[in-house]
């Protein structure tokens, strides 16, 4: 966990509390700095349960591809562009959400052709964000505002050590979702 906390601090994202098993942040999730920290800290495994994962695939393309070439165990879940219109509508209070989602998935298909098995799509309403990074699990709750999912950018999150009960539950949940999801 220490490496992740140092990487986040180097990007200006600092905890507000916690202990050896659970560290709380009141802001900083889903920013470019957040993903810079994640990509600089990861050694062996990175699993992401996101929606459109745009910030991961815009400025950080080079680093992620380098990690994949070096055999990073990587899995990334997107909200399906084929999900029901009601799911896509509440996924974010943004009129361009579906267009942005399609652009990112198209870009991934184009840029990561050798790694397409690392990417899958789910078609239901996401209720939490999960990132599994080596020996930690990062969790951000989904919050709603006026019927839509609030933006995740700069939101609060928690980092759990891998042996924390909540982390074990989140890993199990990620794996279940991965297993029922479809290839992009």
| Predicted local confidence at residue 96, as pLDDT | 77
| Predicted local confidence at residue 115, as pLDDT | 96
| Predicted local confidence at residue 99, as pLDDT | 87
Quote the longest CA-to-CA distance of the chain: 44
| Predicted local confidence at residue 7, as pLDDT | 97
Q: Whole-angstrom Cα distance, residue 103 to residue 83?
A: 16
| Predicted local confidence at residue 6, as pLDDT | 96
- Residue 141's domain is classified under what CATH number? 3.30.870.10
Q: Between the CA of residue 2 and those of 8, 73, 117, 134, 161, what are the distances in Å?
A: 10, 20, 30, 12, 10
Q: What does DSSP say about strands 45-49 and 73-79: parallel, antiparallel, or unpaired?
A: parallel
Helices (H), the chain: 2-10, 32-41, 61-69, 85-90, 97-111, 165-180
Q: What is the pLDDT along the chain (184 residues), one digit of tens a residue?
A: 999 999 999 999 999 999 999 999 998 888 889 999 999 999 999 999 988 888 888 765 678 999 999 999 999 999 998 888 878 776 766 667 888 898 999 999 999 999 999 999 999 877 788 999 999 999 988 766 655 555 656 678 999 999 999 999 999 999 999 999 999 9
| Predicted local confidence at residue 93, as pLDDT | 61
Domain count for the chain, please give it: 1
Q: Whole-angstrom Cα distance, residue 130 to residue 159?
A: 10
| Predicted local confidence at residue 28, as pLDDT | 86
Radius of gyration of the chain from its Cα atoms, rounded to whole angstroms: 15
Which domain covers residue 136, as residue numbers?
2-183
């Amino acid at each position: 966990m220490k490496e992740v906390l140092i990487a986040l601090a180097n990007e200006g994202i600092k905890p507000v509390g916690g202990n050896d098993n659970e560290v709380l942040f009141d802001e900083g999730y889903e920013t470019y700095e957040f993903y810079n920290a994640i990509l600089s800290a990861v050694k062996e495994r990175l699993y992401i349960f996101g929606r459109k994962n745009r910030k991961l695939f815009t400025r950080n393309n080079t680093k992620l591809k380098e990690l994949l070439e070096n055999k990073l165990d990587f899995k990334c879940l997107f909200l399906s562009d084929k999900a029901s219109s009601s799911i896509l509508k509440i996924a974010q209070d943004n009129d361009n959400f579906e267009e942005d989602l399609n652009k990112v998935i198209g870009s991934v298909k184009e840029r990561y052709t050798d790694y397409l098995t690392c990417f899958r799509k789910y078609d239901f309403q996401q209720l939490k964000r999960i990132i599994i990074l080596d020996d930690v699990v990062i969790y951000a709750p989904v919050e709603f505002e006026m019927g839509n999912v609030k933006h995740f950018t700069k939101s609060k999150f928690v980092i759990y050590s891998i042996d924390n009960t909540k982390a074990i539950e989140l890993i199990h949940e990620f794996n279940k979702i991965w297993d029922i999801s479809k290839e992009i």
